Amino acid sequence: MSMAMQTRGPSVAQRRGAAAARPPLAPAPLARSRALRVCAAAPVAGAAKIIDGKQIAEDIRREIAAEVAALKAATGKAPGLAVVLVGARKDSETYVRSKKKACAEVGFESFGTDLPEDASEQEVLDVVARYNADPNVHGILVQLPLPKHIDEQRVLDAISITKDVDGFHPQNIGSLAMRGRSPLYVSCTPKGCLELLKRSGVELKGKTAAVVGRSNIVGLPVALLLQNEDATVTMVHSRTPDAAEVVRRADVVVAACGRAEMVRGDWIKPGAVVIDVGINAVDDAAAKRGYRLVGDVDFKGACERASAITPVPGGVGPMTIAMLLQNTLEGAKRQIGAPAN
């Protein structure tokens, strides 16, 4: 089963490339979130509230911009994020561009190294080592997927855990899995899912949750995070005999299986909250570009039963980048430390 957050082909990237340039985010008072639209009312058919990830992500970026301004004023230093891109996949290039743009908007310093498709594993490791040693770089992100001849896990393992803003280092994932330990960083997409639930006022304590998909980068950490919030979590995957039956018992559903609209509307328990991590491009002759983006959930069907649901696009995706910024800011604050006076 493929990772839900992996996009299929360059088409998604092209669409992202079309995103209009936004003016830099001015530091503003803590946003009164316009996105808090989830009500606790009894479920009414077709009445699912839309959890507006784009708006929530914008609120968070505004909060981050204000904190960066304060950090700069106090220390003279800005958080620095380094992004390493190997090869020329159109979708990766677009993601990297939007990450760098997001950095600029909140006042981060951004560093980048682009290596050719045929770069050796050692060359990539050398770049990581250089950023590990650079005191102006507080976070390092190696854009995935890497070309096949490079051992992805070896590269991720080489990132200093203090700069592992993706939270993909086994020590960060391991700490998340252990009671009594806290990871330095929690991966961005899982953290974004939890932040959407929190900012939408969804109580997790004592609730049942189903996570569809068991990837290292989404399904597994999201399940651990939900469990840490005292939800009772079941993971559903490609070898689960009756996925629908498990999902039907869940108060909270996180879909991260990487299959377009696999979670059907009639799998959703009436009143459940649905977080859709999938981004799948499906052919659609009627759409402007000949395709449209859909999630891992049958959105229309799920809206008939859910009390709240994230859309695709505009749900989890924008939160991934907001959480990357948040992780980098947190890392920078730890590494820069308090001002000398």
Ligand X SMILES: Nc1nc(=O)c2c([nH]1)NC[C@@H]1CN(c3ccc(C(=O)N[C@@H](CCC(=O)O)C(=O)O)cc3)C=[N+]21
User: Where do contacts with ligand X occur on this chain (CB under 6 A)?
Assistant: 5, 12, 15-16, 95, 141-144, 166, 188, 279, 293, 312-314, 317-318, 320-321
Tell me the HSE value of 207 on the side-chain side, using a 13 A CA sphere.
21
Shortest CB 269 distance to ligand X, Å: 25
- Partner touching 146 among Mg ion, ligand X, none, CB below 5 to 8 Å by kind: none
When CB distances to ligand X are compared, the closest residue is 317
- Can you count the helices (H) and strands (E) in the chain? 11, 11
Shortest CB 177 distance to ligand X, Å: 20
Does 149 bind Mg ion (CB under 5 A)? Our answer is: no
Hey, which bits of 158-311 come out as E strands?
Answer: 208-212, 232-236, 252-255, 273-276, 280-283, 291-294, 308-309
Residue for token digits 């096949």?
Answer: 148
Token pair of 98 as six digits: 């939007």
Is residue 84 within a helix (H) or strand (E), and if so which, with residue range? Answer: strand 80-86
Tell me the HSE value of 341 on the side-chain side, using a 13 A CA sphere.
4
| 10 cis-preceded (ω within 30 degrees of 0) | no
* Nearest residue (CB) to ligand X, 71 versus 253: 253
Is residue 85 within a helix (H) or strand (E), and if so which, with residue range? Answer: strand 80-86
Token pair of 94 as six digits: 């677009």
- Partner touching 181 among ligand X, Mg ion, none, CB below 5 to 8 Å by kind: Mg ion
Q: How far apart are CA 332 and CA 139, in angstroms?
A: 8
Shortest CB 176 distance to Mg ion, Å: 5
- Partner touching 15 among Mg ion, ligand X, none, CB below 5 to 8 Å by kind: ligand X
Is residue 325 within a helix (H) or strand (E), and if so which, with residue range? Answer: helix 316-336
* Nearest residue (CB) to ligand X, 38 versus 142: 142
Kindly indicate which of the ranges 35-43, 47-55, 170-178, 275-283 contains the residues binding Mg ion, using the contact rule CB under 5 A. 170-178
Shortest CB 3 distance to ligand X, Å: 8
- Partner touching 108 among ligand X, Mg ion, none, CB below 5 to 8 Å by kind: none
- Cα angle 215, 221, 222; round to 5: 100
When CB distances to Mg ion are compared, the closest residue is 181
Q: Which residues contact 190 (CB under 8 A, 6 or more apart)?
A: 167, 217, 218, 221, 222, 225
* Nearest residue (CB) to Mg ion, 79 versus 221: 221
Among 149, 154, 181, 334, binds Mg ion (CB under 5 A): 181
* Nearest residue (CB) to ligand X, 246 versus 260: 260
- Report, as residue numbers or ranges, the catalytic residues: 99, 143, 166
* Strand 280-283 versus strand 291-294 pairing type: antiparallel
Shortest CB 168 distance to Mg ion, Å: 16
Sign, CA dihedral 163-168-169-172, equals positive
* Nearest residue (CB) to Mg ion, 70 versus 178: 178
* Nearest residue (CB) to ligand X, 166 versus 195: 166
Query: Which residues are bridge partners to 110 per DSSP?
Result: 81
Shortest CB 156 distance to ligand X, Å: 8
Does 170 bind Mg ion (CB under 5 A)? Our answer is: no
Give the binding-site size for Mg ion (rule: CB under 5 A): 2
What residues make contact with Mg ion under the rule CB under 5 A? 178, 181
